[in-house]
C-alpha cells in the first residue's frame, strides 16, 4: 500500500512540473509576439502614425465623455470648411494682426459680456428669458492636466445655425459691424439681434490654441458643440444634453509655448489689466492653502493615549498640588474633541474684477473717498489726487471721462519730455483698449491721469487699435478744455502747490498750444515787484496797472536779486510801476510766445521801445536834454566806442546807474544770451547764435550821473583826451556786465581797471613789478653727490668685507679706540664738505 502511495506522489510531481513548463512556454510566446508587434514604435523618440492619431484622439477630452465617445462624436459631426476669406483672415490674425497674444482673453471676455448684455436686455421684456439661471457671470477655469482653458458665460448662447453662421464667416457680426448696424437699427428687436454675437475677435483664440471647442446652449435650441483647428470646423449635437442651462463655454487647448496662460496669477493679471471694469462679475477657479483642524483617527488617538500613560508611569518628584492640577487639566482635555492642525488646499471661485467703473455713475452719487480709492487703484499712486474732473461729453461724439491731477510731477517728466505716457486709458464699452495714445493729450499735459470710455468709437478688425478717425481729434479737444477748466477751478492754496510742481508744463503749453494759448495765459503766475513772497497772475497785474500804462513790464534774469538790482527797472520802480520778474529759464520764452494779454502788450524793459512818461511837457524836456548831450552821444558812437555800439542815446529808464546796454526789439537780452550759450547741444560757432550775439546794442547814458557829466566836460574840452576814451571804454564794459551780457575781452577790461587803480592811488604807470630772485640750488644735494663720488672710487666688495671684519676684531680688542676713531673721521669729512660748500657759494655770489 505504501508503495502505491509513493508511486502516485511521484506521478503527481511530474505532472505539475510539466504543467508549469507549458505555462512558461506560452508566456514566452506571448512576450515574443508583443515585442514583434511593438517593433518600430517609440514612446520617447519618434512616433508612428497610429500613435499620433491615438494621441490626437485623446487630446480633446470633453467632460462626461470618454475617448471612444469623443471619437464617435467627431465621426457623426457635420464637417464644414471655412470660407476663403476666413482662411486668409486666419493667417493674417495668427501671423501679423495682433501684436500681443495676451489680448485673446480680452476678446473672449468681451464677447461673453456682449452675450450677457443681450440676455439681460431680453429679460426686460421677456421675464422667462432668464429662466431658472438668473446669475449673469463669467467664469474662467484652467485645466493644467489637459492643457485647457475654459471660459464660461451664462449669456444668450447660440443655436446650431448661429454657430455655423457666426463662427464660420468673417466679421458676420463683429464689433465694428455691430456698432454700425446698431445705429441703423429701427427697433429694439433689431437692436437685440446685434448684441453679443461673435466677431473677428473670437479668432484671436488661435494665437494661443491649436484647437478650440465651443459648447453653446440657446433657449430656442438644443446644446451643440462646435470644434475647429483653424483649418475647418464641425458642429454636432451634444450627447450629454443640456449641461450649461444657458450660455456658452469656450475651451482652448493651448499650444506648448502658451502654457503660462494656465497659471492663475497670469490669468488674474490679464483680467485686471483689460477687463476689470466689465459690468458683470468675472470669477476665476483658484486654490488657496489654509490651516484647519481635523478630528484625529482612532489609531492616532490610541497612540497618544499610550504615550500619556508611559509618561504617567515615569517617577515624579512634584508636589501633591501639582499632581492635582495635572489631573484636572487631563480631565478637561479628555472632555474636548481631539483634533490636529493640517494644511489643506481648497478650490473655489474667486471674484477678480471687484473694481467697478465709477465713471458710469452720476457725480452726485460718488463721494470723494471713492474717487481717491479709484484713482489709487489704477494709477498706483499712494497719495490722493490734487484735483479731479468727472464729466460726460456729448455732441459729435459721446464719452464719459474722469481726469485727475496728481500732487507731484514724475521726476523724469522733462528728461523724457515728449516720450510716450500711459496715464490716459481708453475704454470702449468698459473694455480696455489701449493706453498708448501719443495724441490723446498734448505733451505739456502728460501728467494728467484718467480714463475715457466711449461707445461711439469705430474699431478696426482687431479691436486692438483705433482707426485714425476725426472722433479722436474731437475727444482730444474736449479733454484738453476740460483739463484747463479743472485747473482754473483749483483753490488758491491748492493752486500754489500745483504751480510749484507743474509751472513749467503750463509755460510750455503757452509755447506749444496756440489754440488754447489764451486759456493757458490765465493760469500763468510770476514773481512781481508788488510782493516779495506771493506770485501774481496776469489778470491781477492788469487790475493794478496805472491809468496811462499801455504795456505789461517784465524783466528776465537768473534770480530775483539780480533783476531787482538791474539798471533797467530803476526808473520804473521809482515811479511806482509794477514789473514782472521772470527768473526761470523758460519764462522769457513763454512771454515771447504770448503777444498780448487782454489787449495789453508785453514790454521787455531791457529792450528798446520803453516809453514811461507820455506827457507832452515831459517829451519837450527830454528833447531839449538830447540836444544838450548830442556832442557826447555823437562822440561815443563815432569815436570812443565806434566798433562796439550801434548808437548812444539819452536814457529814460536810468536813475542811479551811469549807463546801460539795451538790445533791439528783436535781439537777445542778456538773460536770453546766457540761456542760449548754456545749451547742452549748442555749437561753438553756430551761425544763428552768432547773428544774434554779434548784434550791436544801444548805449543809454544817464545825464544826471556825475561820471557822465565829467565825461561831457572832458570831451568838450578835448575830444582826443585819452583818459576820456579810457573812461568811456570802462563805462561801456561795466554797462555790459551790469546789463547781463558777457565781455569778450576780459583781460583788456582787467588791464584798464588796473590802470585806473594806479592813477587813483598815485602810482606811476611806468613803475615796473619787482622781479623775483633766482632760485639757489640746494647745497646739501651738492655735498651728497661729492660724498657719493668719493665713496664709489676704488671701493670693492672684497675690501669692504675685509675692513668690516678687521674693524669688528679691533672693536672687540680696543673698544675705547674703536669708538673714538669714527668720530674723528666724521669730523674731518664734515670740515672738508663745509669748505667745498663755502667755495661754491662764493662762486655763485660772484656770478650774481
Instruction: Find the range with the poorest average confidence among 77-86, 221-230, 552-561, 836-845.
Output: 836-845
Q: Say if residue 341's pLDDT is above 90.
A: no
Is residue 699 within 8 A of residue 636, CB to CB? The reply is yes
Q: Say if residue 785's pLDDT is above 90.
A: no
What pLDDT shows up at residue 720? 86
What pLDDT shows up at residue 64? 65
What pLDDT shows up at residue 666? 86
**DSSP per residue, 396-421:** SS-EEEEEEE-SS--TTTTTTTTS--
Average model confidence (pLDDT) across the chain: 76
The most confident of 69-78, 98-107, 343-352, by mean pLDDT = 343-352
Q: What is the pLDDT of residues 419-438, one digit of tens each?
A: 666 688 888 878 777 777 66
Q: What is the pLDDT of residues 192-235, one digit of tens each?
A: 333 333 456 788 888 899 899 999 999 999 999 999 888 888 99
Q: Say if residue 40's pLDDT is above 90.
A: no
What pLDDT shows up at residue 708? 93
What pLDDT shows up at residue 819? 39
Averaged pLDDT, 254-279: 89
pLDDT-derived band at 621 (thresholds 50, 70, 90) equals confident
What pLDDT shows up at residue 524? 95
Question: Residue 235: which residues within 8 A CB-CB, separation 6 or more?
Answer: 77, 78, 80, 160, 163, 164, 224, 225, 226
Neighbours of 599 (CB within 10 A): 7
pLDDT-derived band at 667 (thresholds 50, 70, 90) equals confident
What pLDDT shows up at residue 395? 83
pLDDT-derived band at 469 (thresholds 50, 70, 90) equals low
Averaged pLDDT, 477-501: 93
What pLDDT shows up at residue 806? 46
More confident residue, 659 or 103: 659
% of residues, the chain, pLDDT over 90: 33
Q: What is the pLDDT of residues 526-576, one digit of tens each?
A: 999 999 989 999 999 999 998 888 899 999 999 999 999 999 999 999 999
pLDDT-derived band at 93 (thresholds 50, 70, 90) equals low
Averaged pLDDT, 762-782: 74
What pLDDT shows up at residue 85? 56
Q: Say if residue 412's pLDDT is above 90.
A: no
Q: Which of 592, 597, 405, 386 is nearest to 505 (CA)?
A: 405
Q: Which of 775, 635, 642, 608 is nearest to 711 (CA)?
A: 635
Is residue 519 within 8 A of residue 539, CB to CB? The reply is no
Reduced to 3 states, what is the DSSP secondary structure of residue 597? strand
Q: Say if residue 397's pLDDT is above 50.
A: yes
Q: Say if residue 726's pLDDT is above 60.
A: yes
What pLDDT shows up at residue 719? 87
What span, in angstroms and rounded, lies between the C-alpha atoms of 565 and 557?
A: 10
Q: How many angstroms separate the Cα of 637 from the Cα of each of 582, 631, 692, 699, 701?
A: 32, 10, 20, 9, 12
What pLDDT shows up at residue 675? 84
pLDDT-derived band at 678 (thresholds 50, 70, 90) equals confident
Q: Say if residue 843's pLDDT is above 50.
A: no
What pLDDT shows up at residue 488? 94
Q: Which of 642, 652, 654, 630 is nearest to 715 (CA)?
A: 630
pLDDT-derived band at 306 (thresholds 50, 70, 90) equals low
What pLDDT shows up at residue 835? 46
What pLDDT shows up at residue 122? 87
More confident residue, 703 or 431: 703
Give the 3-state secondary structure of 640-672. Answer: HCCCCEEEEEECCCCCCCCEEEEECCCCCCHHH
The H-or-E segment that residue 424 falls in is strand 424-428
Reduced to 3 states, what is the DSSP secondary structure of residue 214? strand
More confident residue, 785 or 816: 785
Give the three cell numbers for residue 500. 510749484
Instruction: Find the range with the poorest average confidence among 227-241, 298-312, 676-690.
Output: 298-312
More confident residue, 734 or 618: 734
What span, in angstroms and rounded, lies between the C-alpha atoms of 344 and 337?
A: 20
Question: Residue 610: which residues within 8 A CB-CB, separation 6 or more?
Answer: 553, 603, 652, 653
More confident residue, 116 or 29: 116
Q: What is the pLDDT of residues 342-352, one digit of tens each?
A: 777 888 899 99
Q: Say if residue 737's pLDDT is above 80.
A: yes
Is residue 566 within 8 A of residue 533, CB to CB? The reply is no
Instruction: Find the range with the poorest average confidence among 75-89, 252-266, 578-592, 734-748.
Output: 75-89
pLDDT-derived band at 690 (thresholds 50, 70, 90) equals confident
More confident residue, 67 or 188: 67
What pLDDT shows up at residue 698? 93
For the four alpha carbons of 546, 548, 551 and 553, in that order, the dihedral sign comes to negative
Q: Say if residue 10's pLDDT is above 70.
A: no
What pLDDT shows up at residue 756? 81
Averaged pLDDT, 396-401: 89
What pLDDT shows up at residue 301? 57
What pLDDT shows up at residue 59? 53
What pLDDT shows up at residue 682? 67
What pLDDT shows up at residue 658? 93
Amino acid at each position: 500500500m505504501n508503495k502505491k502511495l509513493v508511486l502516485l506522489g511521484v506521478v503527481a510531481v511530474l505532472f505539475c512540473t510539466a504543467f508549469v513548463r507549458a505555462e512558461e512556454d506560452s508566456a514566452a510566446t506571448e512576450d515574443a509576439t508583443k515585442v514583434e508587434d511593438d517593433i518600430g514604435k517609440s514612446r520617447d523618440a519618434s512616433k508612428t502614425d497610429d500613435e499620433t492619431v491615438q494621441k490626437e484622439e485623446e487630446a480633446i477630452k470633453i467632460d462626461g465623455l470618454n475617448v471612444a465617445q469623443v471619437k464617435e462624436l467627431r465621426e457623426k459631426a457635420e464637417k464644414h470648411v471655412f470660407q476663403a476669406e476666413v482662411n486668409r483672415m486666419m493667417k493674417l490674425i495668427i501671423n501679423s494682426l495682433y501684436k500681443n497674444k495676451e489680448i485673446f482673453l480680452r476678446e473672449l471676455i468681451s464677447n461673453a459680456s456682449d452675450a450677457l448684455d443681450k440676455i439681460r436686455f431680453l429679460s426686460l421684456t421677456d421675464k422667462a428669458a432668464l429662466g431658472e439661471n438668473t446669475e449673469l457671470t463669467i467664469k474662467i477655469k484652467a485645466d493644467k492636466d489637459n492643457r485647457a482653458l475654459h471660459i464660461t458665460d451664462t449669456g444668450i448662447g447660440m443655436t446650431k445655425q448661429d454657430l455655423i453662421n457666426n463662427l464660420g464667416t468673417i466679421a458676420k457680426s463683429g464689433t465694428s459691424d455691430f456698432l454700425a448696424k446698431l445705429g441703423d437699427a429701427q427697433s429694439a428687436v433689431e437692436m437685440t439681434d446685434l448684441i453679443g454675437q461673435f466677431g473677428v475677435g473670437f479668432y484671436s483664440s488661435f494665437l494661443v490654441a491649436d484647437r478650440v471647442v465651443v459648447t453653446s446652449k440657446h433657449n430656442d435650441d438644443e446644446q451643440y458643440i462646435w470644434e475647429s483647428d483653424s483649418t475647418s470646423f464641425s458642429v454636432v449635437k451634444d450627447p450629454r444634453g443640456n449641461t450649461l442651462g444657458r450660455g456658452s463655454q469656450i475651451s482652448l487647448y493651448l499650444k506648448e509655448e502658451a502654457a503660462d496662460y494656465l497659471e492663475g496669477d497670469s490669468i488674474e493679471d490679464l483680467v485686471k489689466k483689460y477687463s476689470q471694469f466689465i459690468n458683470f462679475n468675472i470669477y476665476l477657479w483658484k486654490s488657496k492653502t489654509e490651516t484647519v483642524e481635523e478630528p484625529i483617527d482612532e489609531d492616532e488617538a490610541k497612540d497618544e493615549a499610550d504615550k500619556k500613560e508611559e509618561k504617567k508611569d515615569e517617577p515624579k518628584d512634584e508636589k501633591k498640588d501639582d499632581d492635582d492640577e495635572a489631573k484636572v487639566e487631563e480631565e478637561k482635555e479628555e472632555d474636548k474633541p481631539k483634533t490636529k492642525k493640517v494644511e489643506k488646499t481648497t478650490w473655489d471661485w474667486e471674484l477678480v474684477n471687484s473694481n467697478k467703473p465709477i465713471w458710469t455713475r452720476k457725480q452726485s452719487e460718488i463721494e470723494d473717498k471713492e474717487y481717491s480709492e479709484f484713482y489709487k487703484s489704477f494709477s498706483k499712486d499712494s497719495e490722493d489726487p490734487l484735483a479731479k474732473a468727472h464729466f460726460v461729453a456729448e455732441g459729435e461724439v459721446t464719452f464719459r471721462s474722469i481726469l485727475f491731477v496728481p500732487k507731484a510731477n514724475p521726476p523724469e517728466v522733462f528728461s523724457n519730455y515728449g516720450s510716450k505716457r500711459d496715464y490716459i486709458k481708453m475704454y470702449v464699452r468698459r473694455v480696455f483698449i489701449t493706453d498708448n495714445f501719443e495724441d490723446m493729450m498734448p505733451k505739456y499735459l502728460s501728467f494728467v491721469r484718467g480714463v475715457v470710455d466711449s461707445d461711439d468709437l469705430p474699431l478696426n478688425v482687431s479691436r486692438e487699435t483705433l482707426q485714425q478717425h476725426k472722433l479722436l481729434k474731437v475727444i482730444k479737444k474736449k479733454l484738453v478744455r476740460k483739463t484747463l477748466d479743472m485747473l482754473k477751478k483749483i483753490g488758491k492754496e491748492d493752486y500754489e502747490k500745483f504751480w510749484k510742481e507743474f509751472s513749467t508744463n503750463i509755460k510750455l503749453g503757452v509755447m506749444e498750444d496756440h489754440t488754447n494759448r489764451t486759456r493757458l495765459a490765465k493760469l500763468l503766475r510770476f514773481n512781481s515787484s508788488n510782493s516779495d513772497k506771493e506770485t501774481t497772475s496776469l489778470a491781477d497785474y492788469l487790475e493794478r496797472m496805472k491809468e496811462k500804462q499801455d504795456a505789461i513790464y517784465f524783466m528776465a534774469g537768473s534770480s530775483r536779486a539780480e533783476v531787482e538790482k538791474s539798471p533797467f527797472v530803476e526808473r520804473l520802480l521809482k515811479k511806482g510801476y509794477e514789473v514782472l520778474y521772470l527768473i526761470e529759464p523758460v519764462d522769457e520764452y513763454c512771454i515771447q510766445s504770448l503777444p498780448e494779454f487782454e489787449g495789453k502788450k508785453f514790454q521787455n524793459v531791457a529792450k528798446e521801445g520803453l516809453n514811461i512818461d507820455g506827457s507832452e511837457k515831459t517829451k519837450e524836456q527830454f528833447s531839449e536834454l538830447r540836444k544838450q548831450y548830442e556832442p557826447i552821444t555823437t562822440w561815443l558812437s563815432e569815436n570812443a566806442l565806434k566798433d562796439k555800439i550801434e548808437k548812444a542815446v539819452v536814457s529814460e529808464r536810468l536813475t542811479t546807474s551811469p549807463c546801460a546796454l539795451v538790445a533791439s526789439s528783436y535781439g537777445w537780452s542778456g538773460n536770453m544770451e546766457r540761456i542760449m550759450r548754456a545749451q547742452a547741444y549748442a555749437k561753438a560757432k553756430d551761425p544763428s547764435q552768432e547773428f544774434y550775439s554779434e548784434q550791436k546794442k544801444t548805449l543809454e547814458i544817464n545825464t544826471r550821473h556825475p561820471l557822465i557829466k565829467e565825461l561831457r566836460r572832458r570831451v568838450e574840452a578835448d575830444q582826443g583826451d585819452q583818459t576820456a576814451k579810457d573812461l568811456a571804454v570802462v563805462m561801456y564794459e561795466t554797462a555790459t556786465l551790469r546789463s547781463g551780457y558777457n565781455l569778450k575781452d576780459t583781460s583788456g577790461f582787467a588791464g584798464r581797471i588796473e590802470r585806473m587803480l594806479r592813477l587813483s592811488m598815485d602810482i606811476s604807470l611806468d613803475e615796473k613789478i619787482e622781479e623775483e630772485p633766482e632760485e639757489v640750488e640746494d647745497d646739501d644735494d651738492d655735498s651728497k653727490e661729492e660724498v657719493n663720488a668719493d665713496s664709489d672710487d676704488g671701493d670693492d666688495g672684497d675690501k669692504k668685507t675685509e675692513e668690516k671684519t678687521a674693524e669688528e676684531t679691533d672693536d672687540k680688542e680696543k673698544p675705547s679706540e674703536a669708538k673714538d676713531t669714527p668720530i674723528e673721521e666724521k669730523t674731518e669729512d664734515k670740515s672738508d664738505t663745509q669748505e667745498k660748500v663755502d667755495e661754491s657759494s662764493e662762486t655763485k655770489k660772484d656770478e650774481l
